[in-house]
Amino acid sequence: MIPASFPDKDEIARLTARMLLEIGAVHFNAVQPFTLASGLPSPTYIDCRRLISHPRIRSVVMDFLAVTVMREAGFEAFTNIAGGETAGIPFAALVAERLALPMTYVRKKSKGYGRNARIEGNMNADDRVLLVEDLTTDGGSKIGFVEAIRETGATCAHTAVIFYYGIFPDTLPTLETHGITLHHLCTWWDVLAEARSGGAFDRETLAEVEMFLTDPRAWQAAHRGDKAECDPPAS
């Protein structure tokens, strides 16, 4: 079913942040920071993949993503929905179902056997493709997926994610340089505001998180030697 009427963008951001907190997808730890794929520390970690195990919340978030794409890109903007391997695949399938469109997925690299394909499913040269992923930090993996899609002859000028870090200033300009527009539901700032409102973490932790969000490079430089707890994927 294609969604039609939903809250405005600010309310969608607040509710998405609230739902991510409710299912335990948000982790803050300033004492033992997490390690980003770059090797740098971070007091924040988000695991949007937890959504697939929570059907009610998953359904609402996917409705939000579908309606956001239609509002911002157009109601007939796309003919194919592609998911990025691996976290983007279930969300692409759910968005494709809502928009009544074919779904494909893009491998990070070719299999090395068989057809040696990076695109799985049917993608045509005249397709207008929306790339769906779980999140983006600096946008690097999105560029790689989009380039693979464009190699088929299809066009891909939009990517949609549930969560956008929203703290690295080069992300949007870099995507724009590659002809890609980003659509998202919420950022770390939305999560921080909702965490404060709901009392999800202690004040000291939230203060440390705000310091990181305000100047992530300075925070990382000051905590470079801290022990890391886990290694979130790049996106």
pLDDT (0 to 100) of residue 233? 47
Phi, psi dihedral angles at 106 (to 5 degrees): -115, 125
Nearest to 13 by CA among 203, 188, 135: 188
CB half-sphere exposure, 19, CA atoms < 13 A? 26
- Please give the residue range of the domain that contains residue 82: 9-222
Has residue 2 been placed in a domain?
Answer: no
Neighbour count for residue 169 (Cβ, 10 Å)? 8
User: Considering the domain boundaries, does residue 55 fall inside one?
Assistant: yes
- End-to-end alpha-carbon separation of the chain, Å? 29
Please give the model's pTM, rounded to 2 decimal places. 0.91
The answer to whether residue 79 sits within a structural domain is yes
Is the separation of the CB atoms in 79 and 102 below 8 Å?
yes
Residues of the chain with pLDDT under 50: 114, 228-233
Please report whether residue 102 resides in a domain: yes
CATH code, domain carrying 124: 3.40.50.2020
In a domain, 228, yes or no: no
pLDDT tens for each residue of 24-82: 999 999 889 998 777 889 999 999 999 999 999 999 999 999 999 999 999 999 999 99
Report how many domains make up the chain: 1
Q: Does residue 153 come out as left (phi exceeding 0), alpha (psi in the -120 to 50 range) or beta?
A: left
**Which residue bears the tokens 């996106």?**
235
